[in-house]
Chains A and B, each alone.
Chain A
Amino acid sequence: MSDAVFRAVAGPPPGAPRPNQAPAPATPGSVPPGAPLPGQPLPPRERADSVRLKGVSKTYGNGKEALIDIDLVIPEGDFIFLVGPSGAGKSTLIKLLVRDEKASAGRVEVAGHDLGHMKKREVPLLRRRIGIVFQDFRLLPRKTVHENVAFALEVTGTPKRRMQPAVERALALVGLTEQARQRPDQLSGGEQQRTAIARAMVHDPRLIIADEPTGNLDPLISWEIIQLLLRINEMGTTVMMATHDAEVVTALRRRVVALEDGRVVRDEVGGYHREY
């Protein structure tokens, strides 16, 4: 990787405001910082594991078993890769974590909340604590970068006076302050994905889930995005990244959870492939 690329992705320009986040307390049992949820608060959290799956299975209506007896704990502040071939269950796992789907069996906990017993009206509150990034960016084409990021606050009833600083902070974090007035079609793929990351970060989430965030990007730009996610992780946010990018996974030597046919077949620090 060239120095130029590294510099480009190293973070906001000097003097830009830092996100209002404390460094990561990775020790279990400590109460992680985080602003109270807007609207109705969720009940207090019990433990500091960001994600905790116990015996989780998911069978779809057509009888397809997408996940089988998954046990997985992701402590606050971790950075993990989720790898596995297409159809292994990565997307289903992500859907369970954001309560897009309900587990058929087992217990899913995110930030201390049991999603199986979560009321429907509490789901939006959960999602404000989780930032999600997709391969296809999912930006609104008619809105500018600034508006795309602000949209996440707007539709969750954030008062206007709190919106502006939060959006500016998120854009500074991803280094897009200059491009705030541009529309997605005027941006490069990497910039679009950084916009999506800014949108995911604007609620100050405790957990970022990135589903193949570099799948549509060339290798150099992919590194840009990875560096950004690493930086977000360093600031205390738990990051879970589903990917096919063997080179990235192998180079970073982080925790890798491998799924195959709905089961966890490997969970260790290492590379993309099993190392014997």
Chain B
Amino acid sequence: MHFLRFSVRQALQGLWRNSVMTFAATFTMILMLILLAALVIVISGVEAGLEFVESRVEVTAELHDGLLEDRIAELQTRVEGLDEVASVTYTSKDEALAVFVAAREAEGQDISVFTGVNNPLKAYLTVELSNPRESEAVTEMLRAETGLVSYVPDQQTGIDRLVELTAQLRNLGFVVLSFVAVTVLLIVVNSIRMALMARAQEIEIMRLVGASDRYVRWPFILEGVFIGLAGAIITLVLLLIASPPISDLASDIAGSVPLGFNESLTLQIMGIVLGAGVGLGSLGAWISVRTYLR
């Protein structure tokens, strides 16, 4: 308790006396943490969008005309048995026409032209996937059923591109972030080094009168922790202020895609920002103490 009080007091005093460097370290820390938070938000936004799109992915398999009901039922059961598949629904030729006509009617077209014509549409199976990224396997499997299935349209390409884009965005983000993190680390290291130099005389006297190492070192480690903590808290306050307009903007752009700050994303960002700030601050201080305090 005595030790903790001593260390905290020394650390705060050190930060105060070295205020220019403290400001520089905290400020760059904030910049980095905002960048980090932005990256997390954008990636989670893109992923939410991706998930939304993927959840709409179904594989449809058009069937040959004139198949027996029980052969279709048998195929349906077999497809349903696959791990990747959530459900399979059968739409007959008549139902397919009804759906088609209803859609045209909804578009305001004259549907009288469709009455009495020979139904050109095929019956089809609609396969809902439990894991949308497995659509290719299911497509392949259905295409192999040449006796029953006439045509399976491709649906994957757009999604693949989105997935790839997300991955690239993530990589680019982490590269930029690493550079910024290294800069922040160096600034913290330097800031603590200045604090060590400012207290050189005090450190010497402490050693002379028999202070144990933790009394000498911990105040400086705590200075790093406090820089990280201050940076993280200020960043979170700024995000709190900025989050409603960002949410609005996001929903404007993305429309029906469910973007925005839900509770788990908020907690995740708080954890990441606090962890990164305090982690980087204490790491920098530790490096400095290890390097400059013999």
Q: Is B6 an interface residue (CB 8 A)?
A: yes
By beta carbon, the residue of chain B nearest A130 is B210
Counting chain A CB atoms within 10 Å of each CB, which of B204, B208, B210 scores highest?
Answer: B210
Contact B212 A156 (CB under 8 A): yes
Which residues of chain B have C-beta atoms less than 8 A from A39's C-beta?
212
Which residues of chain B have C-beta atoms less than 8 A from A155's C-beta?
6, 206, 209, 211, 215-216
Which residues of chain A have C-beta atoms less than 8 A from B213's C-beta?
121, 124
A248 CB, nearest partner CB in chain B, Å: 24
Contact B207 A156 (CB under 8 A): no
Which residues of chain B have C-beta atoms less than 8 A from A124's C-beta?
207, 210-213
Within 200-231 of B, Cβ neighbours of A (below 8 Å) are at 201-202, 204-213, 215-216
CA distance A121 to B215 in the complex (A): 12
Q: Is B290 an interface residue (CB 8 A)?
A: no
Within 99-158 of A, Cβ neighbours of B (below 8 Å) are at 121, 123-128, 132, 138, 140, 151-152, 154-157
Q: Is A199 an interface residue (CB 8 A)?
A: yes
Which residues of chain A have C-beta atoms less than 8 A from B208's C-beta?
98, 127, 132, 138
Contact A156 B201 (CB under 8 A): no
By beta carbon, the residue of chain A nearest B204 is A138
CA distance A155 to B207 in the complex (A): 9
Contact flags (1/0) for A256-272 with B, using CB distance below 8 Å? Answer: 00000000000000000
| Contact of A128 (CB < 8 Å), options: B201, B202, B210 | B210
Contact B2 A127 (CB under 8 A): no
By beta carbon, the residue of chain A nearest B9 is A154
Contact A127 B201 (CB under 8 A): no
Contact B210 A127 (CB under 8 A): yes
Residues of A at the B interface (CB closer than 8 Å) are 39, 98, 121, 123-128, 132, 138, 140, 151-152, 154-157, 159-160, 199-200, 203
Q: Can you offer 7 A-B residue contacts whose CB atoms are under 8 A?
A: A125-B210, A138-B204, A151-B206, A151-B209, A155-B215, A156-B212, A157-B215
Residues of B at the A interface (CB closer than 8 Å) are 2-3, 6, 201-202, 204-213, 215-216
